[in-house]
Structure 1
């Protein structure tokens, strides 16, 4: 991983789309710094399409798509995208799994959750579970005392033993039924809403993330960036970003945004 400041100017200047995780990528210790939100707005105003790609729930994503200066949002690790058309005052929603199947899957996941809570002391159902459409989020450090890595891995294994896909974020283990992830829904979102083929345009796209569930995105986008806290997952992540910021969370995200914006305006990296 090279420093974000070392991203070549010719690469940074041609970026037209920026995707970013939310928790511990745009946020610091659970809060969205004003500087990070400002960076999202500055990117958008510069004509760069910005979209959060997150594990957070549908309820949150509806608000983000409506109220943030973004082109849309991919939520629940790829279960759907939401994009709000300001002119028509209409939310466009696209799901990876049909409504009836999602309802059946939620019943199965409820049983998995009962097993996890009985076998992993200290784990909890995420406080935002009520607002989810497709997955089950197990909290291992957001609103509970941090669990050891061995317990986090145990939660992931239980999901997999029950036939579910499981991904570890910086705060939750998310489990779901269905063959999708952040990358598959990002591909659909980009085609439908942005008119972008990410397979042919990947060198013009930056993804910013921080944790193992971002690995599909890190591995796909050649100019992917990590905020500094991604370094804590070295050796436990399937693919690493090409670049890493000097600072953590939202402040690291601002570094990435500034590198792109400075390159487009002809400024040199600091």
Structure 2
């Protein structure tokens, strides 16, 4: 059953804004571009139409470096940020661009150490199958974990000097300052220095997108309708919300931008 949508506070409907000037969309992937965990043909059409309209799309996802290199290759987008801000793939140069300096061999050992600590306290944890393709973070499945358990896991990670976040799909152990918002800030500075804040919008659906909703950095932030399930657990809420869920919400927004 889909959660009831209750619009209050800063969650304004997207049809209350004129989206004429948008030049860049920074979008989460799972739960925002997908529909029941998959891309559909309508998404490819929407991305093509945005590109034709002169609107660039940059994906910002928690998915692994291995997955995201393929995504940046095959989708009509300018690039993709992987591992919640760990690295960037640019469509015309698919070498990974790391957002911070890491000793990767030692870093992976430390991430594994923290995961083993969590596993000893929560034996039900299941390592994500894509860890073999990861460079900057370590993931395990979010399914079956309560909010109380997630908060306890975050406290343990912080105590070990690491950050933690989660999405509708996975939990992430990561460097404490690694997040989508910081990485996007760097990308905008380096690749889109002429864009004004009112020409950039961010969109997501879950706690690992929260840094994209920080109003001090991104004034035009949007949550697809499924964000409501997390609204009481986020420090930052998006400024606007679609009326539709998942990929249908993204397309709802895209239609407004294209038609404007």
Asked if these proteins are the same fold (TM beyond 0.5), I'd say: yes
Whether the 8 Å contact between 1:224 and 1:242 is mirrored in structure 2 is yes
Match of 2:99 in 1: 96
Match of 1:138 in 2: 140
Match of 1:15 in 2: 22
* 1:128 match: secondary structure: helix
Whether the 8 Å contact between 1:210 and 1:227 is mirrored in structure 2 is yes
Match of 1:65 in 2: 72
* 1:225 match: secondary structure: strand
Q: Which runs of 4+ in 1 moved over 3 A?
A: none
1:232 deviates by 0.4
User: Scaled by the length of structure 2, what TM-score is found?
Assistant: 0.90
5 Å-filtered alignment, 1:148-167, equals: 148-167=146-165
1:197 deviates by 5.4
Whether the 8 Å contact between 2:23 and 2:200 is mirrored in structure 1 is yes
In 2, the alpha carbon distance for the partners of 1:29 and 1:118 equals: 32
Match of 2:243 in 1: 246
Match of 2:5 in 1: none
1:178 deviates by 5.1
Q: Relative to structure 1, is the Cα distance of residues 161 and 178 closer, same or farther in structure 2, using a 3 angstrom cutoff?
A: closer
Deviates more, 1:158-167 or 1:67-76: 158-167
Question: Is residue 261 of structure 1 aligned with residue 258 of structure 2?
Answer: yes
- For structure 2, the 5+ residue unaligned runs are 1-10
* 1:104 match: secondary structure: helix
Q: Relative to structure 1, is the Cα distance of residues 197 and 155 closer, same or farther in structure 2, using a 3 angstrom cutoff?
A: farther
Q: Deviations over 1:61-82 (max 9, x none)?
A: 1101111100000110111111
In 1, the alpha carbon distance for the partners of 2:41 and 2:134 equals: 26
* 2:89 match: secondary structure: strand
Match of 1:80 in 2: 87
Q: Report the RMSD for the aligned CA atoms in angstroms.
A: 1.6
Match of 2:125 in 1: 123
Match of 2:45 in 1: 38
Deviates more, 1:68-77 or 1:150-159: 150-159
In 2, the alpha carbon distance for the partners of 1:45 and 1:260 equals: 12
How many aligned positions are there?
248
User: Scaled by the length of structure 1, what TM-score is found?
Assistant: 0.87
Q: Deviations over 1:177-223 (max 9, x none)?
A: 2533212211222233x33356xx22111111011121111113111
Question: Is residue 227 of structure 1 aligned with residue 224 of structure 2?
Answer: yes
Deviates more, 1:211-220 or 1:235-244: 211-220
